[in-house]
């Protein structure tokens, strides 16, 4: 059963009033892929006319994570205690973005982590699209979450565990 639907099958915000306040955390990942003809030198600090790409993407991702409730319907406003974004070169032409979020609250922070990672990836795209529009955001995924009803670890799920 979907949690954001009421008994009349209408959209609704989930009532978290009776939930326990617990420490919640989530990590999400995004991958940006540059086509071979547009791959900057691995490890190169990307800088465009708009400024330093990775630094700008980190700021944008944190700002977005903090504003998730303004962007995604029915997300509760959550005072984040921590949000960090790392951006690194991976395999040739791949940029790996990871957003880690933490709060002590009645509801999870998965959407905040996903929004932070996605926005950082979109910022990399936006700042580098002058090179080519062939840049792709190939994956945005939840890596893990803790707190609440149950924990989640993507690697465990992929292996068939809980």
Show which residues are catalytic.
126
Cβ burial, residue 67 (10 Å; 0-12/13-18/19+): middle
CA distance 1 to 124: 36
Residue 29, phi-psi category: left (phi > 0), alpha (psi -120 to 50), beta (remainder): beta
What distance in Å separates the CA atoms of residue 121 and residue 148, rounded to the nearest whole number?
28
Distance (Å, rounded) from C-alpha 5 to C-alpha 120?
A: 30
Q: Look-up: residue for tokens 């149950």?
A: 150
Beta partners for 51?
48
Q: Is 28 helix (H, G, I), strand (E, B) or coil?
A: strand
The structure tokens listed for 12 are 């609704």
């Amino acid at each position: 059963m979907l949690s954001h639907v009421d008994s009349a099958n209408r959209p609704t915000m989930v009532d978290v009033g009776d939930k326990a306040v617990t420490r919640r955390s989530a990590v999400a990942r995004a991958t940006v892929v540059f086509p071979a003809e547009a791959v900057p030198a691995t490890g190169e600090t990307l800088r465009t006319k708009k400024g330093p790409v990775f630094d700008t993407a980190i700021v944008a991702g944190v700002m977005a994570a903090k504003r998730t409730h303004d962007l995604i319907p029915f997300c509760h406003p959550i005072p984040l205690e921590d949000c960090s974004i790392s951006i690194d070169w991976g395999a040739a032409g791949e940029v790996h973005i990871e957003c880690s979020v933490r709060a002590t609250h009645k509801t999870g922070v998965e959407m905040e982590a996903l929004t932070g990672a996605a926005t950082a990836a979109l910022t990399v795209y936006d700042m580098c699209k002058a090179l080519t529009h062939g840049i792709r955001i190939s994956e945005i995924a939840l890596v893990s979450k803790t707190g609440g009803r149950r924990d989640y670890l993507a690697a465990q799920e992929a292996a068939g565990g809980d």
